[in-house]
Amino acid sequence: MHKELNVSNENLSREIENYFGQGDCFLLSRGRVCLYAGLSGLALPRGTQVVMAGYTCMAVPAAVQHAGLRPVYVDIDPCTYNLNPALLADVTNQPIGAVIVQHTYGIPAAITVISEWCASREISLIEDCCHLFGTRFEGRPAGTFGAFSFMSGQWNKAFSTGLGGILLVNEPLLASRIRSNIEREAIRPSALRNAFLSAQMLAFDLLVGPVTSGLLAEVYRLLNRFGLAVGSSSQQELNGCIPEDYLGEMAPAQARRGSRELARIEQNLSHRERLTAFYERELPGIGLAPLANELSRKLPLLRYPVRVSNKRELLKKARSRGVEIGSWFETPLHPFGTRLEDYGYQLGMCPEAELASVQVINLPTHLKIDAATAEKTVRFLHKHARPVAHCKTEGSCQSGMRSLSAAGESSI
Ligand SMILES: *Cc1c(COP(=O)(O)O)cnc(C)c1O
């Protein structure tokens, strides 16, 4: 098992380093664990602030807290759904150790402005690349701009290893500290876990399609709850504790899948590019606004975000008709049910993100969505989606958030 782990994991690490043309790659059990390992390597003083957009997965601020640091939130630019660099000036009253830049939905963030801001203050830049894989902008692939970047291998991310995480470290000294931490502390997956993960990947490939995804996600959550499947978040984690086996290495079965995925990455990305362009073309004709970002037309988005005024009702209808439509992010710290205050988030901190949580649905671009399915999705939206009014008021956003939290709909 250990020999196998070494070979499969070594292979994928080298392939990824070659793909990006730089950096040291580490393969861990999940994206969040990569963030944790990277932050631990930075060795910042306890309680140091780490800035991020208040429009992310709760796994991100949780990893920051597990590393003994404090998450601080900056609102998003409503056009790109990414951290709004103009607001960084507002958080400088206390020392900041790092800024996490997430390329939401695969839309590149304002990386040049943010990295200059960080460099002039000796703040580390971290890229959250869980929504894209290797997209090039400003002349370089995403993931190569900061001290380190991390990607998620979760089922519905750009590069799936059926759960898993990829850490790309761009500074040699940091990489050697991270390497020794991992060698000392990381847990190697047991043969049983490896077998479980293999079986899950097989089941996923055979069973999950656009029509079945909603129902199967429910079954998967249930199995995970009873310890019968390896899920993204354990119960311990949802309660805010750091699980004992948090810092884990990727299993060899996942690394082998990663190598297969990497071999067909161009096919994956060009498929996503075609579907992104398709949604972009079709949305205006059915009264919905495409992305305001000109760039997006040529990007392989992970999900195409659309604002609607009847999000909850629309998602319910989509599920009952077997149309795959995503809901992330459901709150500034996805998913529903996250106790925002446990992660230092107070309602009202990021009004644009709160409004987006209430309005934005997302359309899939993955390989199981063929042209006919994408057309069906657009027809469904034409019939059932209600566009948002142009004027946005902060008041309606806040009350929207309250009524959503009051509904207490949990979909972890
Ligand atoms: C999914 C996701 C993560 C966490 O990835 P895991 O592999 O589930 O730990 C982090 N950031 C973003 C933006 C994500 O979408």
Q: What is the pLDDT of residues 80-95, one digit of tens each?
A: 999 999 999 988 778 9
> How do residues 238-254 score in pLDDT, each as one tens digit?
666 788 889 999 999 99
Assess whether the C-beta atom of 331 lies below 6 angstroms from ligand 1.
no
Ligand 1 near 152 CB (within 6 A): yes
pLDDT at 396: 36
Per-residue confidence (pLDDT) for residue 215, from 0 to 100: 67
Please give the number of the atom of ligand 1 that sits closest to the Cα of 163. Answer: 7
Task: Compute the half-sphere exposure of residue 254: CA atoms within 13 Å on the CB side of its CA.
Answer: 31
Q: Is 326 in the pocket of ligand 1 (CB under 6 A)?
A: no
CA of 202 relative to ligand 1 center, distance in Å: 22
Average pLDDT value for residue range 119-134: 96
130 Cβ inside 6 Å of ligand 1: yes
Least confident of 35-39, 265-269, 401-405: 401-405
Position 262 pLDDT exceeds 80: yes
Atom of ligand 1 nearest to the CA of 33: 9
Q: Distance, CA 235 to ligand 1 centroid (Å)?
A: 17
> In the predicted model, is pLDDT for residue 2 greater than 60?
no
Q: What is the mean pLDDT of the chain?
A: 88
> Ligand 1 within 6 A of 200 CB?
no
Over 90: is that where the pLDDT of 306 sits? yes
What atom in ligand 1 is closest to the CA of residue 165? 7
- Tell me the H-state helices in 145-228: 172-185, 191-207, 213-225
The answer to whether the CB of 60 is under 6 A from ligand 1 is yes
Does the Cβ of 82 fall within 6 Å of ligand 1?
A: no
**For ligand 1, mutation pick of 27, 60, 130 (most atoms within 8 Å of CB):** 130
SS3 content of the chain, % helix, strand, coil (to 5): 45, 15, 40
Helix boundaries (H) for 83-129:
111-119
Give start and end residues of each alpha helix (H) in 100-190: 111-119, 172-185
- Mind listing the pLDDT tens digit for each residue in 13-61? 999 999 999 999 999 999 999 999 999 999 999 999 999 999 999 999 9
Whole-number Å distance, alpha carbon 131 to ligand 1 midpoint, is 8
Q: Give the whole-angstrom CA distance, residue 144 versus residue 171.
A: 10
Nearest ligand 1 atom to the CA of 154 is 7
| 130 CA from centroid of ligand 1 (Å) | 6
Residue identifier of the C-alpha nearest atom 14 of ligand 1:
130
Atom of ligand 1 nearest to the CA of 59: 4
pLDDT higher at 239 or 115? 115
Choosing from 57, 102, 105, 132 the residue with most ligand 1 atoms within 8 A of its CB, the one to mutate for a pocket test is 57
User: CA torsion 219→224→227→230, rounded to 10°?
Assistant: 120
| % of the chain beyond a pLDDT of 90 | 72
Specify the residue for token string 């002039």.
120
Axis-axis angle for helices 191-207, 252-263 (nearest 10):
40
Ligand 1 center from residue 32 Cα (angstroms): 6
Distance, first Cα to last Cα, the chain: 32
Helix ranges (DSSP H) in 226-264: 235-238, 252-263
Name the 3-class secondary structure at 294.
Answer: helix
Q: Is 131 in the pocket of ligand 1 (CB under 6 A)?
A: yes
The response to whether residue 31 sits with its C-beta less than 6 Å from ligand 1 reads yes
- C-alpha 162 – ligand 1 centre gap (Å): 13
Ligand 1 atom closest to residue 104's alpha carbon, by position in its atom list:
13
